Structure 1
Amino acid sequence: MPLLVCRHNLAMSQANSTLVLVDGSSYLYRAYHAMPDLRAVPGDPSSPATGAIRGMINMLQALQKEHPAEYVACVFDASGPTFRDALYPEYKAHRSPMPEDLRAQIAPIHEVVRLMGWTVLDVPGVEADDVIGTLATVAAAQGVRVIISSGDKDLSQLVDERITIMDTMSGKVRDVQGVMAEFGVPPCLMVDYQTLVGDAVDNVPGVDKVGPKTAAKWLNEYGSLDALLAHADAIKGVAGENLRKARDWLPLGRQLVTIRTDCDLHEHVPGLPALDALARRMPQPEALRAFYERYGFKTLARALAEQMGADAVAPDAAPPAQAGAADRQPPAPEVTRRYETVCDWPTFDAWLQRLQAAPCVALDTETTSIDEMQAEIVGISWAVEPGVAAYVPLAHDYPGALAQLPRDEVLARLRPWLEDASRPKLGQHIKYDRHVFANHGIEVRGYAHDTMLQSYVLEVHKPHSLDSLAQRHLGRQGISYEDLCGKGAHQIPFAQVAIDKAAEYACEDSDLTLAVHQVLWPRLQADDRLRRIYELEVACSEVLYRIERHGVLIDADVLSRQSHELGQRILQLEQEAYAIAGQPFNLNSPKQLGEIFFDKLGLPVVKKTATGARSTDEEVLEKLAEDYPLPAKILEHRSLTKLKGTYTDKLAAMAHPRTGRVHTHYAQAVAVTGRLSSNDPNLQNIPIRTPEGRRIREAFIAAPGHVLASADYSQIELRIMAHLSEDEALLRAFAEGLDVHRATAAEVFGLAPEQVSSEQRRYAKVINFGLIYGMSSYGLAKALGIDNTAAKNYIERYFQRFAGVRRYMDDTKAQAKARGYVETVFGRRLYLPEINSPNGPRRAAAERAAINAPMQGTAADLIKMSMVAVQQALDAQGKGTKMIMQVHDELVFEVPEAEVDWVRTEVPKLMAEVAKLKVSLLAEVGVGENWERAH
């Protein structure tokens, strides 16, 4: 009976003869824009900004783990001019100045990077790219493997057999083959390529109208820029003419884009060409810990303290709403980890007795697939107390694998305990494990807790994976799946993982789940409102499991006919577009669209891209479509192509081979508002504003002897607004059963309700819903097709007549700024990290979210409460009706014909009675042979 003890620290091996060079300037900008507005004192905008610092630490830690190396350096741009500024005074002239709150973080970033063991370089008068180019070339010449971590494509000219560029943010690798695949030329021609194309970011012109494809074509044909210029007189067309015009400029352009590889760095990197000055140094844990505490990084400080063997870290005294209670948990006490692999019946029977006696068991499965409807069990793990866990391998299959207990017999012996609702169980994402057990004919009962949902309720704005939770709340770094199975094409199935390693990983997962639960559950118990939201989420998980399990029937013939019809219409639209343009062209090519729109047809340029090109994005097409036929054709073509590719071509193929139904996956812990998201397939994004989109729902059908019923809330968010704002006019409109949009129009336009025209009602509807989503006067003007002044007047009149709505919005924003979060009617917290951001657009977006989130979140709470209430009624009365979809504020049922009257009567009543608001809730039910007819 092997006993496995979990590793406390994983020693990181170092690869000899590898130099990692980090483009620090690229990193810090990415960190700044990727991270929220973190502050050393959370919630205090006068406190130093720390988002870029934290992002930099995160990225370097990830890079160190992914690419351990003997030599490391982080290279930043130094302030002041370089030789390129002397060559070309307009160099980088259009770049915006660095934001002040980012500039203030540069010195601390340099400090922490050094403390982490990296050499930091910022060489006066030399750009970071040139420092990187010089060091990479020197190292490669000595046979050292070089990895440059950057997202900057300009560095591609450095790539060779020893120098590789890795973009850790996107996962893109630019080796010799990668550069060729991306740009169409080998690295040795990248300088010539960049000279032709130019660099809009650095304000370096190329050849006018010559883009990447033309540049690559020319260089592949002529072999170099010099050879191309020698034959410039033979190049025809506008491109050839522009090339000849640029002859005098191109030598200077080439100097500007060429990365230098011969900079004098001896003062900054003593001993070159030897790399000893860049050797990785040991981190400075005491100084790092002090740094982390100084800048409010409590989780990092706690994890470091545990690694150092510290007994504890002083808890953060900041208020919970601003500092985040998750970052103030003391480190979990060290426990002796006793992990056991169960490969014989006496050991199994002993563990089964422990399971039956345990007050609550953390349960986890290891499987063959992430598709919960297809996954089969490879092994099962559980933890019964901190540090005490076991793994039962059941289907590991590789040469020399230990003999394992038979899976069917193990599951048969576990079945009574698994299906006993009186035996409490917990897990991380329990819905997945329920499906996995159900694939083997076991309906698990007694799931009392889900750590993923605990995190989702307590800290919706943070990641909810077990790895994240363990690091955040326990200061523990678990073994990752990639550590065990590898990545990408080289990843092996879990069944081929060695049993001893699989056992350590699986036991650790159950152990961490139990430990995280012991941290999070007391916090939920201490807050009645949050605890009730969590209990709602757990109950909703049960309902969602049943919805996913049952699935929805799809009519493949209907989809096939629709797909054919859409295909015919798409071809027709292409021909119509060609006729308007006077020539065939690629409807999906922005470059060709721009040439036809603006050069051939003379359409007005609405806006330009960041690089100065004339934009043909969706917004531009919609604007131009108001006056010109070709953009309208393009928009319709794109819409139908997407509809065909996403739904009519694919839905039928997504039906499960065993059930013949489509089984969507509802992600419960994704949207910060509490709304569910649907994927594989996404049933919530089926467009309903066009006839073609609505027809997709005709393919969702009922089984023989059944019909589909659709139940949804009427004007739910406006009713919630009335409740939250307590606005007298809105409350009166709902209380009297008025058409709320007509009533709004009557107030805004000063008319009697019966005098309101259909156009005025439409305006009022846009205003009602627009203000809920924080729409500005500009947005309203665009939505209604009116000028800004008229839109502004409408909004002012609206707030004059609905003063309670204005008061609610102002009060909500003030509360959000003070607390850092807003709440739904039922207590769900919706955090707004950017609400006090000094960045104007980010702050404005957070203010809009502060107004909208309580309404969206309350609507999400209500539909979840309805799901639970209706399912409980169905179970209690033994009905055959099945809930098969949840889409926004709508529930869809597959109903036996004999139960239609019950559904029509009882379901809207149940939905209306799940909560008592200051206005009554109203739900309506439609019935039909398919989903579309049920509306």
Structure 2
Amino acid sequence: MERGLTMNEKQFQDQKIVLIDGHSILNRAFYGLPDLTNAEGLHTNAVYGFLNILFKILEEEKPEYLTVAFDVHAPTFRHEMYKEYKGTRKPMAEELRQQVPVIKEVLKAMGIRLIEQAGLEADDLIGTLSRRCEEAGMQVVVLSGDRDFLQLATKKVKIRIPKTKQGRTEVEDYLEEDVKEKYQVTPKEFIDVKALMGDTSDNIPGVPSIGEKTATKIIVEYQTIENAYAHVDELKPPRAAKALKEHYDLAQMSKELATINVHADFPYEVEEGKIGELFTAEAYEWFQKLEFKNLLGKFEIQAPASEIEDSFVTVTDPAGMDAVFEKAAGAGTVGVVLERNTENVLPLFAAMSGISGAVLAFSADGKDEIVSIQTGNGISADALMERLSALTESRAQISMFDVKKELPHVRTCRRENFFDVHVAAYLLNPLKSSYEPDDVAREYLDLTIDAKLSEEKKSCYEAYTMYRAADVLREKLKEYGMEALFDEIEMPLVFALFDMEQAGVKVEAEALKEYGQDLGVQIERLEAEIFELAGETFNINSPKQLGVVLFEHLELPHGKKTKTGYSTAADILEKLAPDYPVVSKILEYRQLAKLKSTYADGLVNFISEDHRIHGTFNQTVTATGRISSTEPNLQNIPIRMELGRQIRKVFVPEEGFVFVDADYSQIELRILAHCSDDEALIQAYKEAKDIHRTTASQVFHTPFDEVTDLQRRNAKAVNFGIVYGISSFGLSQDLSITRKEAAEYIDRYFETYPGVKAYLDGEVAFAKEHGYVTTIFGRRRPVPELSSSNFMQRSFGERVAMNSPIQGAAADIMKIAMIRVNQRLREEQMESRIVIQVHDELLVEARIDEVEKVKEILKEEMEHAADLKVPLIADMSVGSNWYEAK
């Protein structure tokens, strides 16, 4: 009798147990989710995905018992030949390996029974438990991504296999009849099918030249490999008969490997798998550490109260408020959190709603004070904001989270007095997807802010975090060499962006409406033309219908069929477009439909009562330091096609103003010349030559004056491609040339500019050694991809290491220019103001009589934003709308 598997059948009758194949589900989660890391740099995507699948299954099955089985990676070799074959198993990715002990600790913290046994694999453990539990009258659910387990399916044993479809996890369910229906064989016969066809993912060799269809046909007719071998001369096709005859020993070994052991000997008491309270205090700590915020809501517990709460005080009278602000004005750093009245307010408008209170945290008389000031009872929101505005002009440093969001409530302030915790945290780790006060508290102060706290208490904790984190973050910025970057670029930028957002940009709503109507007419015309060329009507926006029309009905080449249908991705259609007018028109249709939905129709929703769009410009989103734009994205107004550029005509200046557009010329290539110290590249820029024609002349060994337009275009692609670490494959795709030709172009480029090659190789080597690269201004960009076990990830990491110092420096230079231009316009009390920033471009709404002065300021500040070995050049133009100015 197997140890520890005796059961009281009455006790377990009709109870349900879920058995989980730990490594299989962890592996599926790892490859099904993008990489995630917590503040400590620990990879967490597999653990997060595993837990989500676990909770989904528990919710659906509602079992009384649960056990997770793991391999210990010391397999017993069930066949001598298997030793050699097993050696072909690919090693586990390091990022996944890190997460195996983590998921085990998390499951233990949740009180979940784990089993693993040296000499036994997880499938043997699960197979044995499945049989014994079924014999005791239990319902059994087995969860695994491995179809081997289908052999265990019975009327009471259900196999559940998670699959990812269109980014979502779905689970296929198999009882005995389901296996028969889908695979034409019984669960036991499924073993023989797999043995014949083999399975490389499970290292089961199978019989050469016998695939799934043939294997299934053989077992449907003969039920077992042994019976099929007894009738081997009757097997069809003849090659299958020949293969089985020659490799019968391999077939038998494969069957042995494919068969799950359901009589394994190991200690196990089912009662230990009884599900108790999963959401324990220990598990809560793990979820906090792993930063699984959206799973914390499953816990009914609260984090233990901190001693900090002893310092929480609430003030509701004017005299008390005045006393608090008097004390705060004499403090070194004051953490400030504004509370908003968000009752009956949609989330989108919560940030703009009225102020209901403020919390100040600071040190006074040698002790921490954390004071919540609530409006009402004589304290008005106006009075509160008046006192806060006065505080910002005192000698105290005001530490807040996302200062730009709070500035509309502060009437006057000394801009140099602010410390933005959000911006500092972003600089220290620009790869995180979010930076919230609770993240900062946990990462830098080892403090947990419980999500279940009251709003007032939570605000108190956040204010304390702002106050305490300021010094910690500043020390970290010093350690990383980014203190000057923070003080001289990022903090002043907060106010430049605020001024730009407040100014907004005027949009002619009627012109936008007409533009949309024109697009609608053209879209209808294109739709009719597409239907005529296709010979039928269909939903052009449906990839599935489009794929069938193009690759089945019209029989176009290059059709790639996936599980969900033919791919109609842009890269596939672009290859077909030159030869097939219908495809060309479909691509045009897609562009126009995007223009209409995103811009012609979409922009209308963002026009305010003042007829201007006040978009949001973000400085804590991109890993390289570039500013991004949202609500709406004004940086993504299309310019490559003329019809897209036309939309810029609806962006207009106020009456009495014009637009002045200033654009850096080839800033990234100039930075490359500076950083690489390549003599030839520097000289070309100093001589103010056409850099692309110069490169073409040297790369193609052609006199400068004889360079053709095609050669210049190719050289331009190489110039800009090198900045982004382009490969020969990427360049061949861009230029429609062979990979060999592209490789030759790149080689010739590096022969022409050897300093560039040395610089780029040096950046990759530095990143591999230190884990990050920096811009000339000290901005760090971590490159964790370089340590990945995945070749594609490592290749991406190399491109990041080459490009980030250049693209990041371009972003830094633009920020410096933007800050200085904004300061000059303010200091000289001009009415002109920056209204849009798009990567290397600044758009200024200039009063007509200030145009020349604006141009002078733009030229001075943009071209002298950095002292490079080559000149920075800003091209300028003026227009009565954005289209004309550009």
Shift of 1:515: 1.9
Distance 1:890 1:693 in 2: 18
**127-136 or 632-641, which deviates more:** 127-136
| Counterpart among 338, 345, 370 of residue 311 in structure 2 | 338
Change (3 A) 1:168 1:548: farther
Secondary structure at 2:634 match in 1: coil
The one-letter code of the counterpart of 2:400 is G
Verify: 1:647 aligned to 2:599, yes or no.
yes
| Structure 1 residue 459 corresponds to structure 2 residue 426 | no
Q: Which moved more, 1:123-132 or 1:349-358?
A: 123-132
2:105 to 112, 116, 121: 112
Structure 1: which 5+ residue stretches go unaligned?
Answer: 1-16, 43-49, 82-92, 206-241, 253-262, 301-332, 395-402, 485-500
Deviation of 1:868 after TM superposition, in Å, equals 0.8
Classify 1:370/1:204 alpha carbon distance in 2 versus 1 (closer, same or farther; 3 Å).
Answer: farther
Residues 662-683 of structure 1, C-alpha deviations (whole Å, 9 max, x = no match) = 1111121111110011111011
Query: Which of 362, 378, 382 pairs up with 2:335?
Result: 362
Residue of structure 2 aligned with 1:576, choices 529, 538, 556: 529
Count of residue correspondences: 763
SS of the residue 1:472 aligns to? helix
> Which secondary structure does the structure 2 equivalent of 1:519 belong to?
helix
Match status 1:754 vs 2:705: yes
CA distance in 2, matches of 1:380, 1:166: 48
* Alpha-carbon distance change, 59 to 784 in structure 1, aligned in 2, over 3 angstroms: closer
2:860 paired with 1:909: yes
Aligned ranges 1:552-631 → 2 under 5 Å: 552-609=505-562, 611=563, 613-631=565-583
Listed one character per residue, the Cα deviations across residues 681-700 of structure 1 (whole Å, up to 9, x for unaligned) are 01111111001111111111
Distance 2:685 2:724 in 1: 20
- Three-state SS of the structure 1 residue aligned to 2:358 is strand
Name the CA distance, whole Å, in 2 between partners of 1:39 and 1:418: 36
> How far apart in 2 are the matches of 1:899 and 1:563?
34
Partner letter of residue 827 of structure 1? Answer: G
1:677 match: 628
d(CA) in 1 for partners of 2:565, 2:164: 28
Q: Give SS of 2:608's match.
A: coil
Q: How is 1:146-161 mapped onto 2 (pairs within 5 angstroms)?
A: none
Could you tell me how far apart the structure 1 residues matched to 2:184 and 2:633 are? 40
Q: Which amino acid aligns with 1:619?
A: D
Conserved? CA contact 2:316–2:379, under 8 Å? no
- Deviation for aligned residue 1:594: 2.2
Match of 2:360 in 1: 382
- The structure 2 residue matched to 1:522, chosen from 467, 475, 480, is 475
5+ residue gaps, structure 2: 1-14, 76-85, 194-212, 224-260, 293-305
Shift of 1:820: 1.2
1:570 Cα offset (Å):
1.2
1:813 matched to 2:764? The reply is: yes
Aligned counterpart, 1:722? 673
Q: Secondary structure at the match of 1:792?
A: helix
User: Which deviates further from its counterpart, 907-916 or 461-470?
Assistant: 461-470
Structure 2 residue 32 is the aligned partner of structure 1 residue 27: no
Which residues in structure 2 correspond to 1:213-292 (within 5 Å)? 272=270, 277-279=274-276
Provide the C-alpha distance between the structure 2 equivalents of 1:889 and 1:563, rounded to a whole number of angstroms. 28
2:832 to 878, 881, 887: 881
> Is it true that 1:348 corresponds to 2:329 in the alignment?
no
Conserved 8 A contact 2:661-2:843? yes
Deviation at 1:354, TM superposition (A): 1.5
SS at structure 2 position matched to 1:933:
helix
The one-letter code of the counterpart of 1:701 is V
CA deviation string 1:2-34 (max 9, x = no partner): xxxxxxxxxxxxxxx999987743334434675
Q: Determine the structure 2 residue equivalent to 1:314.
A: none
Q: What is the CA-CA distance between 1:872 and the residue it aligns to?
A: 1.3
- Cα deviations across residues 851-905 of structure 1 (Å, max 9, x unaligned)? 1111100000000000111111112211111111111111111111111111122
Secondary structure of 1:835 counterpart: helix
Query: Is 1:836 aligned to 2:829, yes or no?
Result: no
8 Å Cα contact 2:671-2:809 kept in structure 1: yes
Name the TM-score, length of structure 1 as normaliser.
0.71
Per-residue CA deviations over 1:20-74 (Å, capped at 9, x if unaligned) read 987743334434675769999x9xxxxxxx955x545566789999999997654
- Contact 1:364–1:509 (8 Å) recurs in 2: yes
Counterpart for residue 770 of structure 1: 721
Give 1:409 shift: 4.8
Q: CA deviation at 1:381?
A: 1.3
Per-residue deviation, residues 742-770 of structure 1 (Å, max 9, x unmatched): 11111111122111111111111111001
Change (3 A) 1:582 1:112: same
Change (3 A) 1:783 1:841: same
5 Å-filtered alignment, 1:729-740, equals: 729-740=680-691
Query: How far apart, in 2, do the equivalents of 1:426 and 1:135 lie?
Result: 62
- Contact 1:364/1:381 (<8 A) preserved: yes
Structure-2 separation of matches of 1:810 and 1:414 = 55
CA distance in 2, matches of 1:596, 1:677: 39
Deviations 1:443-474, CA, capped at 9 Å, x for gaps: 67554211111122222234532222222122
Q: Tell me which amino acid in the other structure corresponds to 2:513.
A: S
Cα distance in 1 between the residues matched to 2:541 and 2:69: 40
SS at match of 2:885: coil
Displacement of 1:535 in angstroms is 3.2
Q: State the Cα distance separating 1:118 from its structure 2 match.
A: 2.8
In 2, Cα distance between equivalents of 1:754 and 1:505 = 69
Tell me the distance in 2 between the aligned counterparts of 1:660 and 1:128: 69
CA contact (8 A) 1:32 1:102 kept: no
Distance change (3 Å), C-alpha of 1:519 and 1:925: same
Deviations 1:910-934 (A, max 9, x none): 1101111000111122111111111
Please state whether the residue corresponding to 1:921 is helix, strand or coil. Answer: coil
More deviation, 551-560/461-470:
461-470
Q: 1:734–1:740: 8 Å Cα contact kept in structure 2?
A: yes
Aligned-partner residue type, residue 448 of structure 2:
Q
Report if the CA contact (8 A) 2:506-2:612 is conserved.
yes
For 1:197 and 1:705, locate their aligned partners in 2 and report how far apart those are by CA, in whole Å. Answer: 79
Q: Distance in 2 between matches of 1:517 and 1:616?
A: 51
Question: Aligned residues: percent identity?
Answer: 32
Equivalent residues in 2 for 1:296-315 (5 A)? none
Tell me whether 1:543 sits opposite 2:504 in the alignment: no
Map Cα deviations across residues 362-397 of structure 1 (whole Å, 9 max, x no partner): 111122355477332232112113753122233xxx
Partner of 1:214: none
CA distance in 1, matches of 2:703, 2:825: 45
> Which amino acid in 1 is paired with 2:512?
L
Q: Provide the rounded CA distance (Å) in 2 between the counterparts of 1:632 and 1:197.
A: 45
Q: Is the 8 A contact 2:674 2:869 kept in 1?
A: yes
TM superposition score normalised by structure 2: 0.75
> Could you say what secondary structure the match of 1:341 adopts?
strand
* Cross-structure match for 1:407: 380
Contact persistence 1:708–1:928 (CA under 8 A): yes
Asked whether the 8 Å contact 2:390–2:412 carries over to 1, the reply is: no
Q: What residue is the counterpart of 2:203 in the other structure?
A: none
User: Is contact 1:340–1:503 with CA below 8 Å preserved after alignment?
Assistant: no
Distance 1:281 1:929, change over 3 A: closer
Indicate which of 466, 475, 479 corresponds to 2:446. Answer: 475
- What is the letter of the counterpart of residue 112 of structure 2? W
Give, in angstroms, the shift of residue 512 of structure 1: 1.3
The answer to whether the 8 A contact 1:361-1:425 is kept is yes
Once the two structures are superposed, the pairs formed by residues 772-791 of structure 1 within 5 Å of their partners are: 772-791=723-742
**Larger Cα-atom Rg:** 2
